[in-house]
Structure 1
Amino acid sequence: MAHHIQDRNTKSPSGDLGVKTLGIIPARYASTRFPAKPLVDIAGKTMIQRVYEQAKKCDLDKVVVATDDERISSVVKAFGGEVIMTDTKHQSGTDRCAEVALKLPGYDVVINIQGDEPFIDPAQIALVRSCFTDKNIQLATLIKEIHGDDELFNTNIPKVVINANQQAIYFSRHPIPYLRNAEKKEDWVTTHQFYKHIGIYGYTTQTLLEITKLAPSSLELAESLEQLRWLENGYQIQTKVTGIETIAIDTPEDLQKIIF
């Protein structure tokens, strides 16, 4: 299904939660599948500008772009955004966020906002932030109900199992749990409620700095999913269910999902 571009002008306040929150948008130039992705033009604005503007509609204390490339930095400054230069050797957006958190001390919570989702809804950012009204929350992310076989059996879409407290138990590229008594795979989505992972993260600053010191874990390497490293080391990931779909631009072909 194609999606029309629509600028959302309504602000989505997350309310006074008593926590000082920093929104970080990691953006790198040298993407393997889509080089220069943050600078691609989408109806007159770069992707990074669209992400930044959506993030600013949420009531965060500060929003910054974290990049290792001067070209991205220049574009962000040109549209009036804030940018922090980071090390070129980071292996993940989480690592890049940790460097920024150290450079900008004083924030209780960091929200890692994906730089390849130009139409992210501010309400989703606010939903992640709302998890931290509970002082015991270490990490938070979003999940969405799966209702179709195409998503359930797509290995590019991580699935997540949650417990009774909506904490993540496990993430996998395969459908989990396995439905032993389902006769046909077409019956799976009607027999059990599956969830997919929406890739936005929140962390307390302390937790963010801790998890970036962890070595890659066996589960992470097996599934190629970074969040398994955190679970394998005993961290709890709180989830909240969103009904809002996201549009991630991973390849040039993904741009065809958008009608200009």
Structure 2
Amino acid sequence: MRTLIVIPARLKSKRFPEKSLAQIQGIPMIQRVFNNLQNSHIAPVWVAYDDDRIGNLFSESQRVKTGECFTGTDRVAQAIDIKNAWNQFDIVINVQGDTPVIDTQILFELLVPFSFSHVSMVTIVSELEDQKLLSSPSKVKAVCSKCPDFPEYWKCHDFSRVVETLDSSFSYFSHWGVYAFRTSALKSFTTYAPSFREQSLALEQLRFLDQGHSIWAIKAPKNMTYMCVDTQEDLKAVQIFLENR
């Protein structure tokens, strides 16, 4: 499968302004995300950005300047549109620009479900390390059940920031900010208006669910590491993790 990785990045993040440029061991976070993905040798990597302070960190072949976008996924799609590259790739992986620590081996596994023709979008989940995270709005939770015909995979029924009541019919996981789309599904995504739930929770994946599409998930092994930066506290945790490693 012809695969592309795109990192959407905007400078004016609401919760953490200019976090793309936040320094981690002397390297801007967006550059650390890019280097990690490029070194995995999975696919070409582009940065889809909105401000030259981000774009100037990368070569012309590595960057695509986009306009204003409602979500990161919209920015990924706009970058492909600007490059007129829809027919050049089968699968597009969207890795959020605020994930400076991610075991890239999981991205190879992310591609496997696309061997089934009816799969159009796949994401990654992992076990909740602490049940207290269910009430943490900065950590997104996925509500899943096992795919009946393929028990090694999960089907996402919902995503939430705060889970107040558990339903024993489902399993609750931490959601990683990584999405893989067939290019046709990604193109369709951009034709849908943002759903009410997407806007109220600021969770772009809900747009796909609310349009009746299925989202599959692979469950990351416990030994795989993923750290997302939403707050200054998250940034400190990443810095401590890397120093200890």
TM-score of the pair, normalised by structure 2: 0.85
Aligned to 2:232: 252
Contact 1:24 1:110 in 2 (8 A): yes
Residue by residue, what CA displacement relative to the aligned partner does 1:33-80 show, whole Å, maximum 9, x if unpaired? 322222222112221121111111333331111111111111123xx9
Aligned to 1:108: 90
Post-superposition offset of 1:127: 2.4
Q: Residue type of the partner of 1:170?
A: D
Larger Rg: 1
The structure carrying a bigger strand percent of its residues is 2
Q: Residue type of the partner of 1:174?
A: V
Post-superposition offset of 1:140: 0.6
1:164 maps to which of 130, 146, 157 = 146
Distance 2:184 2:62 in 1: 23
Aligned to 1:119: 101
Residue 73 of structure 2 corresponds to residue 94 of structure 1: yes
Identity %: 33
Distance 2:8 2:144 in 1: 27
Contact 2:143 2:171 in 1 (8 A): no
Runs of 5+ in structure 1 lacking a partner? 1-18, 181-191
Runs of 5+ in structure 2 lacking a partner? 148-153
Matched position secondary structure for 2:75: helix
Post-superposition offset of 1:179: 4.9
Aligned to 2:116: 134
Distance 1:221 1:85 in 2: 24
Q: How many residues align?
A: 229
Residue by residue, what CA displacement relative to the aligned partner does 1:137-168 show, whole Å, maximum 9, x if unpaired? 11010011124222122232222222331111
Q: Residue type of the partner of 1:153?
A: S
Post-superposition offset of 1:120: 1.6
1:1-260 correspondence runs (5 A): 19-77=1-59, 82-87=62-67, 89-102=68-81, 103=83, 104-105=85-86, 106-165=88-147, 166-175=154-163, 178-179=166-167, 193-243=171-221, 244-257=224-237, 258-259=239-240, 260=243
